[in-house]
Amino acid sequence: MLFRSAILVLASLLTLAAAAPTNTSHTQTAGCIINTNTFCPVFEDDFYTNNRTNSYVKNGALYIQPTLTADNIGADKTAKSFSLQFGKVEIRAQLPAGDWLWPALWMLPTDAQYGMWPASGEIDIIESRGNAPTTGPVKGSDSIGSTLHWGPSYDGGTSFADDFHIFGLEWTPDGIKTTVDGATVLNVPFDKSFWDRGAFPAGVNNPWAGTGSCAIAAPFDQAFHIVMNVAVGGTGGYFPDSTPGKRGKYVAAWYPSWKGDKTAMKIDYVKAWKMC
């Protein structure tokens, strides 16, 4: 069972609530080949597509919604015209509800000047799950995580799928801070290099050596762009029952939790301020 969703890569300064994004380009992409004998070793059980059942505007908000599919592979992106190096981002969004849903608001380096992931870094403003609010060891829609791969979890005591919330990022030459409704989730000062933070083993090359005056911030000293997506399941352990061999077995158990457009992540607006 495969799923279809949309991934939006913001690349221009725009307010998405006004109209459907018009500066998108569509490409057919897939992270790996999946057939009856082979599964992706990690990540999601989905393909990204340009189908407007997966990204559309309704009631003044952009909806990013997964659907079942058998033969659609694709991605929905904007042209790369906006990126940010130091500044502030604010996204007002309502997260989706439904088992196995994996919403994320995040940023990737536009030019990856230090090499392929993870050498050039990743900023996860928030990630969450669509599962019902936490009832056991697996956190649900009442919890979000924010990370530079060192981030804590934020437990809000309510479901982020019940209403809109404001997810923020403040990024300066001195550090990175993420917020939810004004409350700090992650605060990482640039007071030592990420090479030192990683405590990497001897013999590994430092991709950030000799990067100039901002070396202590590398790889978070380059322009990044914003990514908004809703993934489905996966085999990386984010959902305990989402592993090879179990996917079909569990569909009947979790798919009934998908209730119409509640499975969509709704984006009211995206704002960005560039540091002068």
Q: What positions carry a catalytic annotation? A: 122, 127
Q: Are 267 and 16 in contact, with CB atoms under 8 Å apart? A: yes
